[in-house]
A = this chain, B = another copy of it.
């Protein structure tokens, strides 16, 4: 899909805002289970997302942006071991990191597909920049995953259907 600049910016803002909200939830969750290190990481990610959103908003200025549907920007819900265990499942730092990672990868892939397909030079440039940023987030999460103990219930599979 070849976006106009306002369409693209609407996606980017909604995605950053969504990421910020989810990171805050994850930070609170980690904090309530006394995992202060991972909580601090998620709070940093929360702040970065808000900062990025604000800088995109500045760029938008008074341009009117289209209203998006939630499935165009929302994070995927984490896969579950069974619905009733969703809560227990996410309190493990490892699983929370994996959940965040899956959604950062999704954002990265989204931006890459826009870079590849857009006919608008500015959309192309911005999408490339944002894809690189998401890649850094994925790498940061991978570092943390490397240092985090794997719980007995993990989620290793890509939960998305193959395309």
Contacts and interface: CB of A to CB of B under 8 A. Distances in A.
Q: How many copies does the complex hold?
A: 2
B83 A110 contact: yes
Contacts of A58: none
A138 interface: no
A22 B71 CA distance: 9
A77 B79 CA distance: 12
B113 A83 contact: yes
Given A25-B71, A71-B90, A82-B113, 18 more contacts: A25-B69, A25-B70, A69-B90, A70-B77, A71-B78, A71-B99, A72-B87, A75-B77, A76-B77, A80-B160, A83-B106, A83-B110, A83-B113, A84-B110, A84-B113, A155-B161, A157-B161, A159-B159
